[in-house]
């Protein structure tokens, strides 16, 4: 998932009642602590993935579910940071990619598909974040409707973002459970989540294309000067 934290200005010692924030303080902000716990549960799910599907489901589910709370904590406690936003996105991408990598080992006939999905996911998110940062945006989620209505809806509506990211993960989890003979549950979940999963891949393509256009436009402007 990707309910990302919004970076906020870090307090400085300018005012009499303000406290200088040290680098180590950022690492112990509440949303970042949640992020570390997400990483721990995700890694534990990788360890149990081969032999303990139910444990994997619980641990992977906890890691994904907590994605809804780090952003909330960042806003509530005014602890949004650049580090936290990147930590959140990297955790999302690594968790999803790791699950897909395992699917490639149990469904080797579809290895090419898994490779393309991982590549699309990583490339679209990296290029989008880099493009938004290069264009001066304070957050990769600040997508205007003029850029893309679909991406604007996806990133600016927290409900849409949460549902799409959640169901996208559920699709991969369903494919995983199907292999371990959770036939009806896995198959039913896969069919129910497939339409939104397809939408997520379509959004990734739009995101990749949009980021490419932004970067190419900036290059053209620079070369024209």
Q: By C-alpha distance, which of 177, 204, 225 is closest to 58?
A: 177
Asked whether residue 11 carries a pLDDT value surpassing 90, the answer given is no
Q: Are 178 and 186 in contact (CB under 8 A)?
A: yes
The answer as to whether 15 is a domain residue is: no
Rounded to whole angstroms, the maximal C-alpha distance in the chain is 64
SS3 66: coil
6 within some domain: no
Range of the domain at 65: 23-224
pLDDT for the residue numbered 138:
66
Instruction: State the Cα–Cα distance between residues 165 and 100, nearest whole angstrom.
Output: 15
The mean per-residue pLDDT over the stretch 5-14 comes to: 45
In a domain, 187, yes or no: yes
Query: How much is the average pLDDT of 53-63?
Result: 94
15 versus 47: the higher-pLDDT residue is 47
Give residues with Cβ within 8 angstroms of 57, minimum separation 6. 173, 177
User: Considering its fold, how many domains does the chain have in total?
Assistant: 1
Determine the Cα–Cα distance for residues 116 and 119; give it in Å rounded to an integer. Answer: 5
> What CATH number is given to the structural domain containing 211?
1.20.120
Say if 163 falls within a structural domain: yes
pLDDT for position 141: 72
For the segment 133-151, the average pLDDT, to the nearest whole number, is 77
pLDDT average, residue stretch 93-106: 97
**Residue 105 belongs to some domain of the structure:** yes
Give catalytic residues, as residue numbers.
92
pLDDT at 30 over 80: yes
Q: Is the CB of residue 99 less than 8 Å from the CB of residue 57?
A: no
8 falls within a domain: no
The whole-number pLDDT of residue 106 equals 96
Residue 12 confidence (pLDDT) above 90: no
How does pLDDT run across 156-169, given as a tens digit for each residue? 888 888 899 999 99
What are the residue ranges of helices labelled H in 49-179? 53-65, 67-76, 82-106, 111-134, 149-156, 158-179
Q: Is residue 217 part of a domain?
A: yes
- Of the ranges 108-122, 136-150, 186-200, which is most confident? 108-122
The region of weakest confidence among 12-16, 137-141, 179-183, 198-202 is 12-16
Burial track 45-72 (b if 16+ CB lie within 10 A, e otherwise): bbebbeeebeebbebbbbbbebbbebbe
Residue 1 lies in a domain: no
Q: Average of pLDDT values for 4-29?
A: 66
How many H helices and E strands in the chain?
Answer: 9, 0
């Amino acid at each position: 998932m990707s309910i990302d934290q919004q970076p906020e200005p870090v307090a400085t010692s300018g005012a009499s009642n303000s406290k200088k924030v040290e680098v180590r303080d950022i690492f112990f902000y509440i949303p970042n602590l949640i992020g570390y716990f997400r990483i721990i549960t995700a890694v534990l799910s990788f360890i149990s993935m081969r032999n303990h599907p139910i444990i994997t489901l619980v641990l992977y589910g906890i890691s994904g579910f907590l994605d809804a709370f780090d952003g909330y904590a960042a806003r509530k406690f005014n602890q949004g940071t650049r580090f936290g936003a990147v930590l959140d996105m990297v955790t999302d991408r690594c968790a999803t990619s790791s699950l897909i990598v395992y699917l490639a080992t149990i469904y080797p006939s579809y290895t090419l598909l898994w490779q393309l999905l991982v590549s699309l996911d990583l490339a679209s998110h990296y290029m989008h974040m880099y493009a938004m940062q290069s264009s001066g945006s304070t957050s990769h989620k600040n997508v205007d409707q003029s850029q893309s209505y679909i991406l604007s809806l996806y990133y600016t509506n927290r409900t849409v973002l949460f549902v799409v990211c959640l169901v996208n993960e559920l699709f991969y989890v369903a494919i995983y459970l199907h292999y371990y003979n959770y036939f009806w549950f896995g198959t039913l979940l896969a069919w129910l989540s497939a339409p939104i999963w397809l939408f997520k891949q379509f959004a990734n393509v739009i995101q990749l294309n949009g980021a490419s256009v932004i970067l190419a436009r900036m290059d053209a402007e620079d070369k024209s000067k």
